[in-house]
Amino acid sequence: MSTVLVSPKFQIVIPREIREKNRITSGQRLQMISFDDRIELIPVRKMSSTRGFLKGFDGGFTRDEEDRV
């Protein structure tokens, strides 16, 4: 687990191992989400880069009896 220091301008530096693992580059946009007492940073990706990410996914499922209409 890495820790970061918040600067007087409220800036942080994302540790190298996290940047490399998540392929975050300089100038890239990150979406910031707050959940109760934690903050999550999510890299914003181009829609074209998501093409095929569900390849092989089986979307079929069986409904529970009480969910059937």
- Where do the domains of the chain lie? 13-46
Burial 25-59 (b: 16+ CB within 10 A, else e): eeeeeeeeeeeeeeeeeeeeeeeeeeeeeeeeeee
pLDDT of residue 54: 83
Does residue 61 have a pLDDT over 80? yes
In this predicted model, what pLDDT tens digit does every residue of 3-60 receive, in sequence order? 999 999 999 999 999 999 988 999 999 999 999 999 999 888 888 877 887 888 888 8
Question: How far is CA 68 from each of CA 34, 45, 61, 64, rounded to the nearest angstrom?
Answer: 36, 37, 13, 7
